[in-house]
Amino acid sequence: MKVLVVGGGLTGGMISYFLRGVKQFKITCWEKSRGLGGRAATKRSNKISGCQADTGLQYLTRYEKSARHDNLYDFLSGKGLISKLDVKDISHMKSGSEKMQHYKAVNGSNTIAKTLWEESNAEVMKLQKLKSLDYSEDGVVAENEKGEKEKFDLVLLTIPVPQIIRDISFTPPIEKNAREQLEKVKFSSRFALVYFFGDNYDIDSRVAGSYAANKDDPIVYWHIDEAKRFGMDTEKNFRTIMFHFKKGLYCDLTPAEALPKLQEHVAQSFPKLPTPAEAVPHRWLFSQVDEKFPGSEGYLSLNDQIIICGDSFGTRGNFDGCAESASQTADHILSLLPKEAEISTEKDK
């Protein structure tokens, strides 16, 4: 069975990882950007070697205890991709956070998705933006923006639901009731801003990061990358700081237009910070799930050939929500195989 996964982020990578031992599937990924990760994105400095910061996913919080979640966390820990995060180094976290398990991505959050895709042995095609899906006959014909077409038996759409509605045309159109339900899914938008400082600079801070103490603050969260990844007692200089801004702030502007306004807020909140060697804004049009798909079971089957999934369809809009949706979607895909087919899933047991 030829399977197309649209989106090279966490959900798609997890599904491919969960199905990696099933010989009946030939999985291809179309990712519209140059790199994998989706909202688990890591920005690396163009000017200063070794400087980077996660602009999307900041850390992982474990909620679920299923066998697949155990497998996933064990795999990522065993690969050295994640390690325990000491939340005492982050100020103003929600009450009760100290009782939960939190993890940091040691080499950047995008390495999580990248490694899952590598482990799955799927064919990953970058700079492939899906334009249309035609399922009017047998199979699904996927067309990219270049006009190139390929036929698949099954298509999994893992990108944010509003992006699906905005960017992809369907032949025949999505059934009215399903479309109305999909249109209820809402994502927030926000800016992230990364400051990269010179090689010898060392940010003076007693904590690795902090949430805003005041809900009206324009900067809702910040962290020092080196302190978060390596701990407060690391001998590395603190040279990189990332800021998340409140939902919707300046999101009607381009990153270039918003940059000076964002920097004004940073200067007001952190007056002792000098001018960085490099300041990089990133506008997340689809940052976090605000309203999930109603009554979801982890995915939505438009038919036997097209499935929509992701954290919009999970219990919560985060890493564990992606894993929950991926696990339920993987089970559903396995159920589509003929009953007499011999399924090899030893790696998932």
**Spatial CB neighbours of 27, under 8 Å, sequence gap ≥ 6:** 3, 4, 5, 16, 19, 120, 122, 123
At residue 337, the pLDDT reads 87
Question: pLDDT tens, 28-71?
Answer: 999 999 999 999 999 999 999 889 999 999 999 999 888 999 99
- Counting Cβ atoms within 10 Å, is residue 141 exposed (0-12), middle (13-18) or buried (19+)? middle
- Counting Cβ atoms within 10 Å, is residue 34 exposed (0-12), middle (13-18) or buried (19+)? exposed
First to last CA, the chain: 22
- pTM confidence score: 0.94
Place of tokens 């689809």: 286
Q: Per-residue pLDDT for 18 more than 80?
A: yes
- In whole angstroms, what is the distance from residue 49 CA to residue 329 CA? 40
Domains along the sequence of the chain with CATH = 2-42+110-185+293-348 (3.50.50.60), 187-289 (3.90.660.10)
The pLDDT mean for the chain works out to 94
Question: pLDDT tens, 151-191?
Answer: 999 999 999 999 999 999 999 999 999 999 999 999 999 99
- In whole angstroms, what is the distance from residue 132 CA to residue 171 CA? 8
pLDDT band at 343; cut points 50, 70, 90: low
Phi, psi of 294 (to 5 degrees): -65, 135
